[in-house]
Structure 1
Amino acid sequence: MFSFFKKFTADTEIKDFSFIGTDIHSHLIPGIDDGCSSIENSIASIKSLKELGFTRIITTPHVMAEVYPNTSETIKEGLEKLKVALKENEIDIEIEVAAEYKMDENFNVLLDNDDLLTFGDKYLLVEFSFVAAPINLETTIFKLRTKGYRPILAHPERYLYLADHLEKFEEFKALGCHLQLNLMSLVNQYGGAARETALKMLSKNMYDFFGTDLHRPEDVRILKKVLATKSEYHKIQNVKHLNQKV
Structure 2
Amino acid sequence: MFFFKSKEILPRDFFPKGFVDIHSHLLPGIDDGAQDLNTSIALIEKMASYGIKNFITTPHILGDIYPNTPEIIIGKLKDVKQELSNRNIKDISIKAAAEYMMDENFLTLLDKDKELLTLKDKLVLVEMSYFSPPIHLFDILFQLGLKGYKPVLAHPERYNSYHKNFRIYQKLKNAGCLFQLNLLSLTENYGKGVQKTSEKLLNENMYDFIGTDVHHFNHLDGLKKISTKKNLIKLEQLLLNNKKFLD
Q: Which residue of 1 aligns with 2:77?
A: 79
Matched, 1:45 2:20: no
CA distance, structure 2, for counterparts of residue 70 and residue 59 of structure 1: 14
Q: Which residue of 2 aligns with 1:4?
A: none
For structure 1, which runs of at least 5 residues remain unmatched after alignment? 1-8
Tell me the TM-score normalised to structure 1 length: 0.90
Report deviation, 1:240. 7.7
Superposed counterparts of 1:164-243, under 5 Å: 164-228=164-228, 230-239=229-238, 242-243=241-242
CA distance, structure 1, for counterparts of residue 32 and residue 140 of structure 2: 26
CA distance, structure 2, for counterparts of residue 24 and residue 133 of structure 1: 23
Q: Which residue of 1 aligns with 2:15?
A: 17
Q: Secondary structure at the match of 1:48?
A: helix
Q: Secondary structure at the match of 1:181?
A: strand
Q: Which residue of 1 aligns with 2:109?
A: 110
4+ residue stretches of structure 1 with deviation over 6 A? 11-14
Conserved? CA contact 2:144–2:151, under 8 Å: yes
CA distance, structure 1, for counterparts of residue 166 and residue 230 of structure 2: 22
Q: Which residue of 2 aligns with 1:142?
A: 142
Quick one: which amino acid aligns to residue 67 of structure 2?
P
CA distance, structure 2, for counterparts of residue 218 and residue 133 of structure 1: 28
Q: Which residue of 1 aligns with 2:55?
A: 57
CA distance, structure 2, for counterparts of residue 243 and residue 174 of structure 1: 22
Structure 1 residues 227 and 98, CA gap change in structure 2 (3 angstroms):
same
Report deviation, 1:245. 1.3
Quick one: which amino acid aligns to residue 19 of structure 2?
G
Percent sequence identity over matched residues?
43
CA distance, structure 2, for counterparts of residue 85 and residue 106 of structure 1: 32
Q: Which residue of 2 aligns with 1:162?
A: 162
Conserved? CA contact 2:34–2:40, under 8 Å: yes
Q: Deviations over 1:136-167 (max 9, x none)?
A: 21111111112111110001111111012222
Report deviation, 1:90. 2.0
CA distance, structure 2, for counterparts of residue 19 and residue 180 of structure 1: 19
Report deviation, 1:238. 4.0
Report deviation, 1:11. 8.8
Quick one: which amino acid aligns to residue 149 of structure 2?
Y
Tell me the TM-score normalised to structure 2 length: 0.90
Structure having the larger proportion of residues in helix: 2
CA distance, structure 2, for counterparts of residue 169 and residue 212 of structure 1: 21
Superposed counterparts of 1:93-132, under 5 Å: 93-112=92-111, 113-132=113-132
CA distance, structure 1, for counterparts of residue 206 and residue 108 of structure 2: 30
For structure 2, which runs of at least 5 residues remain unmatched after alignment? none
Report deviation, 1:217. 2.6
CA distance, structure 2, for counterparts of residue 53 and residue 170 of structure 1: 33
RMSD: 2.0
Quick one: which amino acid aligns to residue 38 of structure 1?
D
Quick one: which amino acid aligns to residue 108 of structure 2?
V
After TM superposition, the structure 1 stretch with the greater mean CA deviation from structure 2, 16-25 or 213-222, is: 16-25
